[in-house]
A and B are shown apart, each in its own frame.
Chain A
């Protein structure tokens, strides 16, 4: 999958893939590795490695729900408010992140309607 490059600051969180994943996690509020891989086109292994790095840094947290490991920004990260502001600014300057998140339908669908 060919992706548009992010605007300046694309490697702010180490690599472009780490930055892109963090922006998506922020936008989606909660996600999981295979969903992030599906949206970005990165391999699941790449996503999981980046997630581990971000978790080690204390930026994200992982919560097990059923059999799914749900990833979200760590609410206890000491600079969470400032991080939110930075990520929001980056997202609005990189609308392709919003566009890629639009691949996922999260609103409910009435029973009987085709997926």
Chain B
């Protein structure tokens, strides 16, 4: 049951478990994934999911109504008791040019949450930083690095493939994470 006090994490688990029970996989991405890893550093207000193998997905999306979510503009789902919104991002699970084929699955009681790995989550936030010079995204990436101690070699490799300023980006990330 979604209430006014439900946290982003609680809603993420509820949605992912609902889909899982229908045989569908949705993976949490974007700033909401950063909030799961580093809630003290970054607070997202919307949950971005990517649905894997989305044929028949629309019918399943309607299951969100079981949680009380209502369809809003641009396929954004809103709940009357919560400020958090849910969005299903079109397309494959990817960070920049990199397609993501594996992710992390967290468990809480009988609920599950599929989420980008900490490394991919950092890359995802850095994508917003390198494409739009968004320092709030860099700060979120630093928060994820600070709390997960993710492998920066993977991040470095991704930055190289994106033709980003690798050394500067990593140095700023580490400086912010201190």
Contacts and interface: CB of A to CB of B under 8 A. Distances in A.
Interface in A97-113: 98-99, 101-108, 110-113
Interface string B60-94: 00000000000011101000000001010000000
Instruction: Assign chain B's interface to a size class.
Output: 20 to 34
B128 A95 contact: no
- From B45, B135, B136, B138, residue with most partner A Cβ within 10 Å: B135
Instruction: Assign chain A's interface to a size class.
Output: 20 to 34
A110 B76 contact: yes
Interface in A68-115: 88, 91-93, 95, 98-99, 101-108, 110-114
B87 A103 contact: no
Contacts of B135: 27-28, 98, 101-102, 104, 106
Contacts of A112: 72-74, 76
Nearest to A101: B135
A98 B129 CA distance: 12
A95 B175 contact: yes
Interface of A: 27-29, 88, 91-93, 95, 98-99, 101-108, 110-114
Interface of B: 45-46, 72-74, 76, 85, 87, 128, 131-139, 168, 171-172, 175-176, 178
Given A113-B76, A113-B85, A114-B45, 17 more contacts: A27-B135, A92-B171, A92-B172, A93-B175, A95-B178, A98-B138, A98-B172, A104-B134, A105-B136, A106-B136, A107-B131, A107-B134, A110-B74, A110-B76, A110-B87, A111-B74, A112-B76
